[in-house]
Amino acid sequence: MAQSELNRLKWDAIDVLLVSGDAYVDHPTFGVPLLGRWLVAHGFRIGIIAQPRWDRPDDILRLGRPRLCAGITSGSLDSMLAHYTAFRKQRSDDAYTPGGLAGQRPNRAVIVYSNLVRQAFPGLPLVLGGIEASMRRVSHYDFWTDALRHSILLDSKADLLAYGMAEQSLLEAVQRLDQAAPGQHPADALAGISGTVRCATARTPIPAATVPLPAHEAIRQDPFQLVTATLAIEAQIHRGGPVLTQQDGIRTLVIEPPADPLDQTVLDRLYELPFTRLPHPSYQQPVPALEPVRFTVTTHRGCAGGCTFCALALHQGRRIQSRSVPGILREVRDMHRLTGWNGILNNVGGPTANFWGARCTAPTSSCRRTSCLWPAPCPHFKTDQVGLAALLRKLAALPGMRQVRSASGIRTDAALREPAYLDALLRDFVGGQLTVAPEHRSPRVLDLMRKPSFEGFEEFVRCFEAAGKRSGREQYIVPYLMSAFPGCTDRDMRELAAWFRQRGWKPRQVQCFIPTPGTVATAMYWSGKAPDGTPIHVARSDAERLRQHGLLIDSPAPPSRGTVNRRRRSAP
């Protein structure tokens, strides 16, 4: 982060500059430090400029001109989501900033930082990454301006956009720039990298066999075309090829198929890089986002659920990549060397806790489903929750371990299939509360979300209560619910509220749907149509959205049994 640190490392310059909207926290759940250490492990010298001032390029200039390129990200969240609530009100805090201060990154950070770097280092190749770039990789609806926007690659005038978990694609881009012939144009060096989006040029034309997405102008004229485009993007990240293209005026975007997942050994090595799990020492105040994740371990990536509102499906994809048991044990065993370790592992998980070890066993890769679990579990989808329970026990048996928690949400439909896992989880690895996400009660809304039926949730509640009686522990379910989802009416919300009232539960974890960029649900919101083209009701005005939200939040109920934490969705 500073020239003095370069001197200490005896680096006369850096190869790559990573610019982030988050504070610099050296922890594997923060994207830029993860990529930084990954590139260093591959022999490159990396500088990180975190939360630079954006009115002048002084901070960007701090480490000098990088030899190869700059990587730019808004940070762990889309900058608009980080700044504004579901009702477009400005947030008063930012968990990714020292002291939780709001306002340390600009709106549309990727575009602003790109301009800043271009001003500081004219001609330097720019590579975009992170959730903001990933989810805005093609034409998308922007809730905060209620308008269709161009791909962020075009708006930022960068050379390349790396979508998803970008280890492979960023590394390949950096290696290609490193090996480029003197004077070679970056566009020539960066063409054809898996997991990237670029603009076709005269030098790097469109590959032969491509599938066109609806053009930007066609989407502007017929919003349902956004649903079509988003479903095609979703299919591409799940199934791989072919290359997609999107016409935007005279420009053509080339969307390469996703990068191959990291193999298990590489994934283990990545998470075992020497992270300090601390914020940069220059910060005077703690970074609030670190504390809950500081002593946690990531066991896998990806989620097979394919929920239409979740950015994960289009960022990490549906294929689950699980780490090995020895790799996870090694990482956790090493935590005792770190400052502040007190023997409590706060979470063992990934996007969905009980999908570690889950895999597709289909003999061919011709799957056309949008979810491995909806409308019913696919017979080829296999979980290994008994193996997961055994892993949790091994972690709990490590020397000096006082407690192991599994705090990520679980898929109730999958958990019901392996009761031994549920028993072990409830007995030993959750505290008083278990997070689950039925999201809604209405079958129509659940179908539009691609969530399992509410009857399944009721069955889960029965099993949970029976397990509680067996263990003699007082435990509560914390259900995540959503209001104002496309297709949801006041009547649906009243019926949902009635169910909770009947049970004496006061739901507190209710998120008003935010149409974040790039999801299928957002395309439904903007177009007012379901993926099959059927018109649906959309609560669009703030008044109606607030009303739907209030029907659940303000529903009177005897004694309160929920949590009072705020809930923020959408970023993996």
Residues that bind ligand SF4 (CB under 6 A): 304, 360, 362, 367, 369, 372, 378, 380-381
CA Rg value for the chain: 23
Nearer to ligand SF4, 284 or 361 (CB): 361
Report the alpha-carbon distance of residue 158 to residue 453 in Å, rounded: 44
Nearer to ligand SF4, 31 or 452 (CB): 452
Report the alpha-carbon distance of residue 436 to residue 416 in Å, rounded: 13
Q: How many CB atoms lie within 10 A of CB 432?
A: 10
Nearer to ligand SF4, 155 or 447 (CB): 447
To ligand SF4, the closest distance from the beta carbon of 411 in angstroms equals 13
Nearer to ligand SF4, 369 or 444 (CB): 369
Report the alpha-carbon distance of residue 459 to residue 100 in Å, rounded: 40
Helix (H, G, I), strand (E, B) or coil at 65: coil
Report the alpha-carbon distance of residue 65 to residue 122 in Å, rounded: 10
Q: Shortest CA distance to 137 belongs to which of 288, 236, 253?
A: 253
To ligand SF4, the closest distance from the beta carbon of 228 in angstroms equals 21
Nearer to ligand SF4, 313 or 552 (CB): 313
To ligand SF4, the closest distance from the beta carbon of 459 in angstroms equals 22
To ligand SF4, the closest distance from the beta carbon of 381 in angstroms equals 4
With b meaning 16 or more CB within 10 Å and e meaning fewer, what string describes 503-521?
eebbbbbbbbbbbbbbbbb
Nearer to ligand SF4, 379 or 559 (CB): 379
Q: How many CB atoms lie within 10 A of CB 162?
A: 30
To ligand SF4, the closest distance from the beta carbon of 318 in angstroms equals 6
Residue 329's alpha-carbon distances to 46, 60, 332, 390, 394, in angstroms, are: 29, 39, 5, 12, 8
Nearer to ligand SF4, 33 or 317 (CB): 317
- With 0-12 / 13-18 / 19 or more C-beta atoms within 10 angstroms meaning exposed / middle / buried, residue 58 is exposed
Q: What is the DSSP letter of 258?
A: P
To ligand SF4, the closest distance from the beta carbon of 320 in angstroms equals 10
Phi, psi angles (nearest 5°) of residue 186: -55, -35
Nearer to ligand SF4, 78 or 418 (CB): 418
Cis preceding-peptide flag for 258 (omega within 30 of 0)? no
To ligand SF4, the closest distance from the beta carbon of 357 in angstroms equals 14
To ligand SF4, the closest distance from the beta carbon of 536 in angstroms equals 25
